[in-house]
Structure 1
Amino acid sequence: ENKAMESRLRQAGFPYVRTLEDFDFAFQAAISKRHIQQLTTMQWIDDAFNVFFLGPPGTGKTHLSVAIGGAAVDKGYKVRFISMDQLVSAFRTESTDPKAHRALRAIRKADLVIIDELGFLPITRTEANQFFQLVNDLYQRTSIIITSNKSFEEW
């Protein structure tokens, strides 16, 4: 059981370890501790709902995503974390790079996919279409957390 959890944690691809206990809710008064703690029940993953963390740099979006993702791993869910830059790179090389192909296949099989920094770097129309297709593939069967420093209107 412990080895399986360690394997799921490694496969998740988190950039670092963060927990909700480490998050300073007093520093980010706009973030409701109660709402974040509700997310740790993981009911929203079972229901294939999605979560968006939007806000300027330094507000803890990635920290919260990693912490919630880690809690999901602890509860047995398959989680994949990827930055939008890494995702676009995988789209570009999927047909020639077996590692990129495996990464995208693992994303499609995950219970929870965390996409960090959507909108941070510009993407081409083709890359936007590939992203839309991925989200469409995941729709109603996989939950997604997206972090962005852009508002919906700026996407």
Structure 2
Amino acid sequence: MNKIDTLFNRARQLRLYGLTAHWDEIATQDWVPTVIRWEEDERSDRSLLRRMRTARLGHFKQMADYDWKWPRRIDRATVEELMTLAFMKDATNIVFIGPNGVGKSTLALNIAYQALIRGHSVLFRTASEMLGELAAIDSDSLLRRKLQYYASHDVLLIDEIGYLSYSNRHADLLFELISRRYEKRSTIVTTNKPFAQWSEVFPNAACVVSLVDRLVHHCEVVAIEGDSYRFKEANERSIAQRQQRASHQSGETEPAS
């Protein structure tokens, strides 16, 4: 395919019908590649902004700022491989397991952001927000549409499974959603509970074993061990503030010369 034909196909994909209708007249003009590139760039930018609003990732620490030395245990090589998004090719899921404050959400959000900027549709929800919304719907047709909405995104990030306990209805809804995405699209989950303790998150729910089975069948599980980094930062701030106050008070009590 020659350069002119390539430009024509790009213009047709952009639905620039005015240009394609008069292609024989303008195909060799020097400005045509520039106009097509401008249109492609503008649409790409608008698409990214739209997907970012939909994703609702919020503010999060970038990978460059992540302190890999803080966790006592983390498989950095696996996380860095996940950042390449190769897992999406076969709809592999990701589960980050670890205690509070070790960076599970930070890592998950960075992977989701990589998917977003590479053109994929992404959605972020906390487990309580998503399951509460679904459980409150009393219309079957509306519930089906909402489940399809959650199931349709290329990457769905469900944050903080395990911090609250849920009813059987919540468990059934999560199972339904994971089943809809199973082997079709990737789901990222963060949890502070090992899978053996998910029965505590969904007590008495009959579908817990099946839910975990569907989630982990094609899955990268990243276990993180360590103390809370947020607690470390809070403690450091507290020490710095005490030192600052002590220094200020010491300056105020110095005798005048």
* TM-score, length of structure 1 as denominator length: 0.90
Residue 151 to residue 3, structure 1, CA distance change in 2 (3 Å): same
1:72 offset after TM fit, Å?
0.7
Preserved contact between residue 135 and residue 169 of structure 2 (Cα < 8 Å): no
Preserved contact between residue 14 and residue 81 of structure 1 (Cα < 8 Å): yes
Aligned equivalents of 1:75, 1:53: Cα separation in 2: 22
Gaps of 5+ in 1: none
Taking only the aligned residue pairs, the percentage that are identical comes to 27
Query: Does 2:68 correspond to 1:61?
Result: no
Aligned equivalents of 1:15, 1:89: Cα separation in 2: 20
Preserved contact between residue 94 and residue 101 of structure 1 (Cα < 8 Å): no
Query: Does 2:79 correspond to 1:36?
Result: yes
Higher relative contact order (CA 8 A, sep 6+): 1
Query: Does 2:93 correspond to 1:50?
Result: yes
Aligned equivalents of 1:22, 1:48: Cα separation in 2: 28
Residue 102 to residue 23, structure 1, CA distance change in 2 (3 Å): farther
Tell me the number of residue pairs that the alignment of Structure 1 and Structure 2 aligns: 154
Counterpart selection for 2:126 from 65, 83, 96: 83
Specify the structure having the higher radius of gyration (Cα): 2
Preserved contact between residue 82 and residue 116 of structure 1 (Cα < 8 Å): yes
Aligned equivalents of 2:170, 2:157: Cα separation in 1: 18
31-40 or 114-123: bigger deviation: 31-40
**Aligned position for 2:69:** 26
70-79 or 3-12: bigger deviation: 3-12
Report the structure, 1 or 2, having the larger helix content. Answer: 2
Residue 2 to residue 100, structure 1, CA distance change in 2 (3 Å): farther
Query: Does 2:143 correspond to 1:92?
Result: no
Gaps of 5+ in 2: 1-43, 199-257
Aligned equivalents of 1:126, 1:100: Cα separation in 2: 13
Residue 11 to residue 101, structure 1, CA distance change in 2 (3 Å): farther
1:105 offset after TM fit, Å?
3.5
Counterpart selection for 1:3 from 27, 46, 52: 46
* TM-score, length of structure 2 as denominator length: 0.56
